[in-house]
Chains A and B, each alone.
Chain A
């Protein structure tokens, strides 16, 4: 322990396994063709369990791929430029530009080799600034079949939820039939049910892990969580994700029981609303020098995970349908019905509920402040940012807004971010720790 360290710390035991699972996934994408595996591409927040009925497949989620690329400017900048050369403007979804740029360059980040052409695109339309039009571009450029469903939840739409559920379920049935048609494979409902069980369980487990970070000292820091989250994001429909998340949850509990911190110097706990500027993850390390531990981000708690926000302002882990006494999934109809029910029980709640969610997690994580990210790379995420700030203020949670772009390093002013954050920390009475 150094002089400024307050807690003991150690690396995660499951760290190596986490790295393996993520890399294995991306390599399975690269070798899908030669292995005879179906490659499906689409929005990563889609229900990844749906293609499982077709048999062996791997899902290339566009956003996580865009994030990984963003992390490496030497790959991302040429990709961005390739997208721009084809007319995609700089203010459009940054993840999408990294993805489309890679496709235009015919380069896959993980191998440096050719871009893995998917068998088909399958996704959801939730964000009108990306999703549906993004994969239409892929469909047109690569000439591959494309199906996308509309997801009518998450923005406090007026009117009854019943027909919205029916509309979503209907499209999912259509999507399954469409997949059978374009692949010529027979769809196995048993495989769908199995994948859905994994899907719900992984989401709930990852949500639980995120909430466990309420402990002081925090057993995990955001930087590590960002490396663990892709397992839940990309592989949540697989058994390996469930097993990993169980192992992680147990290890996190163990760390809490033994007072093992992620950041030995933790004395100020911050959280955020959004993904980070991926090209500038070192900011987290930098602020550890102030005793700051970033304990979580709302977006990945509810996007690659699931939690339940209660009316009294508390937040608890989500419970998978199987453990809640929901009617069992025994055929396609009941499986799709359960999925729709699950999605509607955990709405994304952008703008309207988002404020409430932010206040809930801020309190749950016992943060000293919130660093809200005005992310110029994602038009969806910034809706209601100012309202969120006001809601936090009313709840007595200090917050600041820093600007940048999660996917385009050319749009990240590191000095400005540091300045803004340092000023915020100064307001919280936090200064740099002496170097020991």
Chain B
């Protein structure tokens, strides 16, 4: 089986994968809700961190818990818990990001049976020199809580091993992303997304093996069609592979992204330091920030523009989950930035299910403009 098929299998059977892992390794499975959760510490404790994702189905089980003014992703994720689809989870961890997903955490802790729940204060003031030493101490508390819960001491070596495994994962995915800079990338946007989402669901050591295999498969690979318009996908949570597929079928290729199932998840590595917790903290403080952590000055926008240039992007899809205020803050400025740099943008608002009929017409028109510009 090729690596892509393996990624697809894990994504389709994510719950089975986690349960099999548990059986095989005898460790605990911990769900996380935001990419600011330091998975490395969970992994060092011999546990499997898995991202909690929605199912993109219409549902009404969350109405009694989360008001309709919150984003569809946070409601969809909670729905999975309420429906018992994550009943195998031993713990759930969240690191402060936005108001919406915190709702998911608190409701999960209160209304879904779970053995361990941890709500970490991730600084939003990441530009303050105070944030790193503070976060290092917070990680110390988190490590202690995991040790107390599991009865297992997390040694320095455990942490270093986890860091190495996670850094390898990041480096390999970055290597694959590098190939997307080519005139004819050997990988589609949908395939890249499958790779990253699988990474969020799998044991990183296993994922690393698949990445090694994938890199070999990519030598001389051809996606079997023209690259056409080179697109960038920017936004918040995004695991709608079907959407990415459909856009690419219209005659375009996503060559790069900036969202939390893409570069924002894995781009930055952990740099060595004496204290492994401090090293992990530095990574999460200095990583490409999410919009609510991008103040007083903006660091996210220059990074995005640099990526767009490096990948020779011709058009940008800016998507936003309905009611997602963090990203609503950035979209006007992003649009302006791209306009000033002559890169057209299209803004799309996502719900749990996608109104593809409406989107299709707009995306087709957008792609036509891009092609016209290119001619």
Interface, chain A (partner B; CB < 8 A) = 86-89, 91-93, 125, 127-130, 132-133, 136-137, 139-140, 146-150, 152, 155-160, 163-164, 166-167, 170-171, 174, 351-352, 374, 376, 379-380, 382-387
Contacts and interface: CB of A to CB of B under 8 A. Distances in A.
Contacts of A88: 328, 332
Nearest to B296: A146
Interface residues of B, number: 49
A133 B130 contact: no
A139 B127 CA distance: 16
Interface in B98-119: 98-100, 102-103, 106-107, 110, 118-119
A147 to B, nearest CB: 7
A157 B121 contact: yes
Nearest to A124: B125
B64 interface: yes
Contacts of B138: 159, 163
A2 B103 CA distance: 48
Contacts of A374: 67, 69
B292 A158 contact: no
Contact of B125 (A139, A140, A148, A382): A148
B301 to A, nearest CB: 11
B366 interface: no
22 contacts: A87-B331, A88-B332, A89-B328, A127-B99, A128-B96, A132-B292, A133-B326, A146-B295, A155-B119, A158-B121, A159-B120, A159-B138, A163-B137, A167-B123, A171-B128, A171-B130, A174-B130, A351-B102, A379-B99, A383-B102, A384-B107, A386-B64
Given A128-B292, A129-B325, A139-B296, A383 B118 contact: no
A159 B117 CA distance: 12
Contacts of B323: 91, 379
Nearest to B70: A379
B41 to A, nearest CB: 13
Contacts of A383: 99, 102-103, 106
Nearest to A87: B332
A384 B128 contact: no
Contacts, number: 140
Interface of B: 64-67, 69-70, 96-100, 102-103, 106-107, 110, 118-121, 123-125, 128-131, 134, 137-138, 141-142, 145, 291-292, 294-296, 298, 322-323, 325-326, 328-329, 331-333, 335
A125 B107 CA distance: 23
Contacts of A87: 331-332, 335
Contact of B119 (A132, A156, A160, A386): A156
A351 B119 CA distance: 13
Nearest to B138: A159
A147 B125 CA distance: 10
Nearest to B109: A352
B69 A91 contact: yes
A159 B125 contact: no
A157 B120 contact: yes
A173 to B, nearest CB: 9
